Amino acid sequence: MERDVIIACDFKNQEELFSFLEPFKGLNPFLKIGMEIFYKEGPQLVRKLKEMGCKIFLDLKLHDIPNTVEKAMRNLGELGVEITNCHAAGGINMMQAARRGLDATESGKNTKLIAVTQLTSISQEILENELLIKENLADVVKTYALNSKAAGLQGVVCSPLEAPIIKELGLISVTPGIRFADDSKNDQKRVATPEYAKELGSTYIVVGRSITAASDPVAAYKRCVKEFC
């Protein structure tokens, strides 16, 4: 089974990012580039990282009307990243439009497109009281995953706790909310250790502060790889 550790590079600018990556030379880790740094540095940052040999999960969570998402994905497809995503809450038509946008570029055809089911900061209480979705959280995730599969996507972003559901559907799962046993949960509700995520069937784990805030980030990364892969 394909497995990998993705480092969440939630830095404020490329100077901070490249300083962090300096000790990783030769390892060519899989990196998650999210909204914070992408909105600061733009597509050129992704191109630089690809030139360095890094694999990229471009985590921009597109969520808009189908036409807008399709055009945006066409632009992102030109970057040739390994994985990118949209929100499953946008519906099947929107997800199909996202796939069309990627497929319109030669490099985008090789990009895995996944959908966000529910953010790991969402609890059952928030789902019911704020989003007015009265269904069980696991059932919502499964339905969103089924919609993603129907739209032709390869997988979803979900909590590691929901990875078994996704595995049963034949989809890949990209799971944030990963912490070492001795780490703080911070602002995420549904979390797991790398070892437990492996047991649950996660395809990729996304690890942020447990690596980026560690006293020895390379050692923390290697620990994650050892426990998960």
Active-site residue, 61 included: yes
CB atoms within 10 A of CB 97: 24
CB 148 within 8 A of CB 114: yes
Q: From CA 173, how far away is CA 177, in angstroms rounded?
A: 12
> Pick from 142, 204, 152, 146: which is nearest to 173 by CA?
204
Identify the active-site residue in 48, 50, 61, 222: 61
CB 95 within 8 A of CB 86: yes
Token duo for residue 172: 């890949």
For residue 219, the surrounding DSSP H or E stretch is helix 217-228
Say what the alpha-carbon torsion angle 197, 198, 204, 210 is, to the nearest 10 degrees. Answer: 50
Euclidean distance between the first and the last CA atom of the chain, given in angstroms as a whole number: 10
- Among all residues, which ones are annotated catalytic? 61
